[in-house]
């Protein structure tokens, strides 16, 4: 029996998937399995949304929960379990019916072609959730993007065929482009259009903070909080 199964990043063991007590990235098996529970719970939430009334609160939770499962974002089991609980409570809030969670082992142990197509959609959703999350922080949302999270997750939980899943894969790419447009609009409306700018590459003396990622709002807050304190900020500005 595998302790875990994760193959969502390029670090994955043997180019096939991490299956031991920890992944190459350092993620423990328990954490990987909790992240699978999040996805299973979100598929349950998508089922509830189909029969219920999801709100902006539901949309925001969907993005936060998916974002949590991206490689190297959150390895804290406590907060991951809290998110699972949030999803379960939200499912009950938007619909009174019975909407079971999805067992991700059905996907990992199923037909390899179906697994590949569904995983392509799932990983696309995870990346899209990060962009939608950052845009929402800046008060920019897109109804088409929000609705697609429910549509795609619902289909992942169904017994689809290669023929039915391929159009979903293509639509995932199309909606991803719309989400990128959303984030670009949110950033440029908030901070202006980016222009080529020379920056020094020297390392200054004194304390410093290294920032990875593309959250411009977090960067702005960090620069404001360290202004005048002699703390240098370095980033590759992904």
At 120-131, the pLDDT tens digits run 999 999 999 999
Residue ranges of the chain whose pLDDT lies below 50: none
Q: 175, 191, 207 — which closes off a domain? A: 191
Q: Would 2 be classed as within a structural domain?
A: no
141 and 89 both lie in a single domain: yes
pTM: 0.89
186 and 203 both lie in a single domain: no
139 and 165 both lie in a single domain: yes
Answer whether 114's CB lies under 8 Å from 160's CB: yes
150 and 173 both lie in a single domain: yes
pLDDT number for residue 207: 95
Answer whether 40's CB lies under 8 Å from 103's CB: yes
162 and 46 both lie in a single domain: yes
Q: Would 8 be classed as within a structural domain?
A: no
Torsion angle defined by CA atoms of residues 167, 168, 169 and 173, in that order, rounded to the nearest 10 degrees: 100
pLDDT number for residue 96: 85
116 and 55 both lie in a single domain: yes
Rounded distance, CA 177 to CA 91, Å? Answer: 28
Tally of structural domains, the chain: 2
Rounded distance, CA 81 to CA 20, Å? Answer: 21
78 and 31 both lie in a single domain: yes
pLDDT number for residue 73: 87
Q: Would 52 be classed as within a structural domain?
A: yes
pLDDT number for residue 237: 64
Q: Would 209 be classed as within a structural domain?
A: yes
Q: Would 5 be classed as within a structural domain?
A: no
pLDDT number for residue 7: 81
236 and 167 both lie in a single domain: no
186 and 201 both lie in a single domain: no
pLDDT number for residue 86: 97
109 and 69 both lie in a single domain: yes
Domain encompassing residue 50: 13-191
Query: From residue 81, how far is each of 22, 36, 97, 174 by CA, in Å?
Result: 18, 11, 23, 32
115 and 170 both lie in a single domain: yes
């Amino acid at each position: 029996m595998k302790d875990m199964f994760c193959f969502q990043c390029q670090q994955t063991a043997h180019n096939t998937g991490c299956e031991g007590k920890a992944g190459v990235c350092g993620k423990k098996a328990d954490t990987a399995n909790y992240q699978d529970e999040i996805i299973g719970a979100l598929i349950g939430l998508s089922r509830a949304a189909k029969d219920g009334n999801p709100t902006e609160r539901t949309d925001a939770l969907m993005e936060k929960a998916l974002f949590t499962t991206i490689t190297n974002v959150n390895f804290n089991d406590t907060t991951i379990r809290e998110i699972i609980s949030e999803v379960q409570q939200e499912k009950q809030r938007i619909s009174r019916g019975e909407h079971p969670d999805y067992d991700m082992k059905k996907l990992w142990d199923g037909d390899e072609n179906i697994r590949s197509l569904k995983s392509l959609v799932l990983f696309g959703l995870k990346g899209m959730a990060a962009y939608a999350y950052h845009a929402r922080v800046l008060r920019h949302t897109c109804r088409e993007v929000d609705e697609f999270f429910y549509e795609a997750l619902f289909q992942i939980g169904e017994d689809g065929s290669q023929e039915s899943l391929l159009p979903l894969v293509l639509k995932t790419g199309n909606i991803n482009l719309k989400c990128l447009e959303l984030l670009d609009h949110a950033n440029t409306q908030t901070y202006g259009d980016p222009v080529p700018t020379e920056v020094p590459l020297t390392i200054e003396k004194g304390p410093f903070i290294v920032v990875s990622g593309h959250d411009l709002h977090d960067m702005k807050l960090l620069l404001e909080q360290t202004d005048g304190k002699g703390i240098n900020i370095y980033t590759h500005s992904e």
